[in-house]
Amino acid sequence: EPAGRETVPLYLYGAGHVGREIVRVVEGLPFDLTWVDTARDRFPERPPAHARITAVKDPAAFALMTPPGAFHLVMTYAHPLDEAICTTLLKRNDFAHLGLIGSATKRARFEQRFRAAGIAGAVIQRLSCPIGVAGVTGKEPPVIAVAAVAELITVLETRRRAAHGMPTG
pLDDT for 114 equals 97
Q: Tell me: the pLDDT tens digits for 122-167? A: 999 999 999 998 888 888 999 999 999 999 999 999 888 877 777 7
DSSP 147: H
Mean of pLDDT values over 52-70: 97
Question: Would you call 129 helix, strand, or coil by DSSP?
Answer: coil
pLDDT band at 3 (very low <50, low <70, confident <90, very high): very low
Residues 102/127, Cβ–Cβ less than 8 Å: no
pLDDT for 5 equals 65
DSSP state string for 67-126: PTT-EEEE--S-HHHHHHHHHHHHHH---SEEEE-S-HHHHHHHHHHHHHTT--HHHHTT
